[in-house]
Structure 1
Amino acid sequence: MQNPSTPATGYPYPGQPAGTGNGYPPPPPGTTYSYSYYPYNAPPPPNPRAILFRRILLFLIALGLIFGTIFLILVLVLRPSLPNFYLNSLSLSNFNSSNNRLTGNWEVQFQVTNPNKKMSLSYEEVFCSIFYDSDSLAQTRISPFNQGTKDQTVLNASLSVVNTYVDGKVTDSINKEKARGRVGFDVRVMSLLGYRYGGWKGRRRVLVVWCEDVMVGVSSSTGSGKLEGGAKRCRVR
């Protein structure tokens, strides 16, 4: 017989409902507890081609930034300027316009100045053209040339047409001006312009020179004439 003063060691305790060991009632029949298992998915290994592509892209971006910075520094330090063009003289001979036909010889002289103190200039693919309004009358090619810093160059061009067809409205307009003793022409020069500083060469650009409203006094009897008003500064872009 167990001593009443000794703690009970069996289950259930006196007065405790059967089926529990913590004093709480048992769960209702059919009640279960489940635990879901989520397997750990390791990330896929990096694609070597994608890594190589990213590295190449970063390298190209860095290279572009480096060259862009160098170019910006050169531009800020050197301050490249466009050349100055002056039309010194223009003479016309054997000029005749009739029956939609045009004949004439133009002798043109320019003075070209390189205003840059640190950069030399090169002119390639040089073309000179004579226009009447927006109609091209004659064109010729000029030899390429170079200019050192602060250099001045005299540039000559000879243009001619012989019995060349032109639109009737052009000859009519020219003859009206010629009857008044002067005809206005436009002179254009186009070239590939390059900059050089020591061993560094800048990217070439297209140079366009316009000498507009060049008035030439023309004799109706001889068809010859010369530039009126002296040298004329041309627009450069």
Structure 2
Amino acid sequence: MGDHQPQPHLNGAYYGPSIPPPTKTSHSHGRHGGGGCCGCLGSCFSCCGCCILSIIFNILITLAILAGIAALIIWLIFRPNAIKFHVTDAKLTTFTLDPTNNLRYNLDLNFTIRNPNRRIGVYYDQINVNGYYGDQRFGNGNVSPFYQGHKNTTVFGSKLEGQSLVLLSGGERKDLDEDLKSGIYRIDAKLRLRVRFKFGLVKTWRFKPKIRCEIKVPISNVNTTSGFVFQRTKCDVDF
């Protein structure tokens, strides 16, 4: 009665607990964020050049914004107004073109420069005055450097005298014939400048503005009496 009966042999498969799959080892080679190197700033310099370019770009944008803010603050403090140039007087005694295209000229010019600003001074490091007839330059003169203070009007003169080879086009020669008959010559005085502005103790870098003065000058010699009087002329300023 106390004997144990042998259990039957199991010929089928045994279904026990499932075996977990093997853990896969990830070889990221130092990459972060699934293949992008720019997700972690700490490793940018060692793994990816795009992060360096991004940092440089952000720095440049920041500097540009700061420069714009500084310029706006300076403008609000000093409120700069445009410098004004005028030709106040001009005297032409010689302006003749011989058959060999040699132009003889004698022209005296007086200029004024008005600085209307209360807190800005101007250093005129170079002033070069050029005479043009049409598109042809015929003479030049230099003016000594000077400093112009606040709310100041400065007067200076320049003399263009000599002779120069001038090759006029057909239209320019026709204009010269008309000016010769009327006794009034259409001449351009162009100024080439190098200037610096002074804001308190701060001096700016050099600017190279271009000044153009379109004038009509009567010839004033003993053989002509046109009756035309030179008019004060405002110049165009291009910074």
Q: What is the Cα deviation at residue 3 of structure 1?
A: 8.9
Describe the shift of the 1:111–1:47 C-alpha distance in structure 2 as closer, same or farther (beyond 3 A).
closer
Deviations 1:41-71, CA, capped at 9 Å, x for gaps: 2442836566995697355654454344222
Aligned to 1:165: 165
Q: Is the 8 A contact 1:91 1:225 kept in 2?
A: no
Question: Does residue 1:145 correspond to 2:146, yes or no?
Answer: yes
- Amino acid in the other structure paired with 1:18: N
Match of 2:162, SS? Answer: strand
Question: Does residue 1:81 correspond to 2:81, yes or no?
Answer: yes
Aligned to 1:18: 11
Describe the shift of the 1:234–1:2 C-alpha distance in structure 2 as closer, same or farther (beyond 3 A).
farther
Q: What is the Cα deviation at residue 2 of structure 1?
A: 6.2
Q: What is the Cα deviation at residue 150 of structure 1?
A: 0.7
Aligned to 2:192: 190
C-alpha distance in 2 between matches for 1:112 and 1:226: 28
Deviations 1:76-99, CA, capped at 9 Å, x for gaps: 332323310111001112332221
C-alpha distance in 1 between matches for 2:97 and 2:230: 24
- Amino acid in the other structure paired with 2:93: S
- Amino acid in the other structure paired with 1:140: G
Deviations 1:99-155, CA, capped at 9 Å, x for gaps: 122111111001110011211111222111111122212111221221111111002
- Amino acid in the other structure paired with 1:38: K
Q: What is the Cα deviation at residue 21 of structure 1?
A: 4.3
- Amino acid in the other structure paired with 2:161: S
C-alpha distance in 2 between matches for 1:95 and 1:150: 37
TM normalised by structure 2 equals: 0.74
Describe the shift of the 1:224–1:94 C-alpha distance in structure 2 as closer, same or farther (beyond 3 A).
farther
Aligned to 2:125: 124
Match of 2:123, SS? Answer: strand
Q: Which of 8, 12, 26 lines up with 1:40 in the alignment?
A: 26
Q: What is the Cα deviation at residue 11 of structure 1?
A: 6.3
- Aligned residues between the structures: 219
Structure 1 range deviating more: 218-227 or 104-113: 218-227
C-alpha distance in 2 between matches for 1:226 and 1:193: 39
C-alpha distance in 2 between matches for 1:9 and 1:75: 107
Deviations 1:141-171, CA, capped at 9 Å, x for gaps: 2212211111110021111122x22225455
C-alpha distance in 1 between matches for 2:110 and 2:7: 127
Q: What 5-or-longer segments of structure 1 have no aligned partner?
A: 24-32
Match of 2:209, SS? Answer: strand
Q: What is the Cα deviation at residue 75 of structure 1?
A: 2.5
Tell me the C-alpha RMSD between the 2 structures: 3.7
Q: Is the 8 A contact 1:113 1:153 kept in 2?
A: yes
